[in-house]
Amino acid sequence: MQNNDDFEKMKKELELRIKFEDVITQISNSFIDIPYEKINQNIDLSLKKIGKFTKSDRCYIFMFKNKFKILDNTHEWCEKKINPQIQNLKDIPAEIIPWWVNKVLKREHIYIYDVNKLPDEAELERNLLSEQDIFSLVVVPMIIEDKIIGFLGIDSVKKYNEWSNESIKLLKFAAQILSNAINRYEKEKKIQDERKFAMTIMENMGQGLAITDVTGKIIYANKSIADMLGYEQKHIIGKSPFDFVEESYINSMQKNIKKRKINVKSQYETALISNNGEIKGVIINAVPRVEDGKFAGSISVITDLTQQKLIQKKLEDSLEYYEKANKMKSEFLANVSHEIRTPLNGIIGFLDLLKNTDPNIEQLNYISNAQNSSRHLLNLLNDLIDYSSLDNNLMKFNEIGFNFSVLSNRIKESFKPLIEKKNLEFIYDINMQNKYHLGDPVRIRQIIENLLNNAFKFTDSGYIKLKINESEGYFNIIIEDTGIGIDEEKQDKLFKSFTQAEGYISRKYGGTGLGLSIIKKILENMEKGDISFESIKNKGTKFIVNFRLQIFDTKKFNLNNYKLMIIDDSKSNLYVAKSLFNSFNISVDIFEDEKNVIETFENTDYDAILIDINLSNISGVQIMKDIKKSKKFKEFPIPLIAFTGESNPQILNNLLDDGFDSYIIKPLDRIKIKELFKLKQNKKVKFNLSYLEEIFKDNPEDMKILIKRIKEESSKIIFELLNNEENEKTHEKIHRLKGTLSNLNSKEINDIFIDIKKTNSFEEKKDYLNLISKIIEEL
Reported as a single tens digit per residue, the pLDDT across 693-716 is: 766 666 677 677 777 878 888 888
Residue 385: predicted pLDDT: 66
Residue 94 has pLDDT above 50, yes or no: yes
The least confident of 138-147, 486-495, 539-548 is 486-495
d(CA 557, CA 673): 11
Residue 682: predicted pLDDT: 40
Segment of 200-204, 215-219, 585-589, 721-725 carrying the highest mean pLDDT: 215-219
Confirm if 62 and 151 have CB atoms less than 8 A apart. Answer: yes
pLDDT band at 692 (very low <50, low <70, confident <90, very high): low
Residue 138 has pLDDT above 70, yes or no: yes
Task: List Cα–Cα distances, 62 to 16, 138, 567, in angstroms.
Answer: 28, 13, 103
Distance of CA 20 to the CA centre of its chain: 71
Task: List Cα–Cα distances, 769 to 222, 385, 483, 680, in angstroms.
Answer: 47, 30, 52, 14
Confirm if 99 and 105 have CB atoms less than 8 A apart. Answer: no
Residue 48 has pLDDT above 90, yes or no: yes
d(CA 595, CA 612): 14
Please name which of 265, 264, 308 lies closest in space to residue 284, comparing C-alpha atoms.
265
Torsion of CA 504, 507, 510, 513, to 10 degrees: 50
Residue 694: predicted pLDDT: 64
Which residues does 179 contact at the CB level (< 8 Å), separation at least 6? 142, 143, 144, 149
Residue 244: predicted pLDDT: 92
Q: How many helices (H) and strands (E) does the chain have?
A: 26, 24
Q: Spell out where 127-223 has E strands.
A: 136-144, 147-156, 208-212, 218-221
d(CA 299, CA 285): 8
d(CA 553, CA 559): 14
Mean pLDDT of 747-776: 76
d(CA 549, CA 523): 12
Strand, helix or coil for residue 573: helix
732/455: higher pLDDT: 455
Segment of 4-18, 335-349, 503-517, 763-777 carrying the highest mean pLDDT: 763-777
β-bridge pairing 147-156 and 136-144: antiparallel
Task: List Cα–Cα distances, 501 to 72, 489, 494, 498, in angstroms.
Answer: 69, 9, 6, 10
pTM score, whole prediction: 0.45
**Burial of 650 from C-beta contacts in 10 A (0-12 / 13-18 / 19+):** exposed
d(CA 252, CA 255): 5
Q: Give me the chain's average pLDDT, please.
A: 83
Task: Name all contacts of 389-393 with Cβ < 8 Å and 24+ positions apart.
Answer: 390/518, 390/521, 390/522, 390/525, 391/521, 392/326, 392/329, 392/330, 393/688, 393/742, 393/745, 393/746, 393/747, 393/750
Residue 683 has pLDDT above 50, yes or no: no
Torsion of CA 505, 509, 513, 515, to 10 degrees: -140
Reported as a single tens digit per residue, the pLDDT across 14-44 is: 776 788 788 888 888 988 888 888 999 999 9
Residue 503: predicted pLDDT: 47
Reported as a single tens digit per residue, the pLDDT across 337-388 is: 656 666 777 777 777 778 778 888 888 878 877 776 776 676 666 666 666 6
Reported as a single tens digit per residue, the pLDDT across 543-579 is: 999 999 988 887 777 776 678 999 998 888 888 888 8
Phi (first) and psi of residue 166, to 5 degrees: -65, -40
Confirm if 459 and 483 have CB atoms less than 8 A apart. Answer: yes
Phi (first) and psi of residue 761, to 5 degrees: -85, 120
Mean pLDDT of 599-619: 89
pLDDT band at 306 (very low <50, low <70, confident <90, very high): confident
The least confident of 278-287, 334-343, 616-625, 722-731 is 334-343
Structural Rg of the chain based on CA atoms: 46
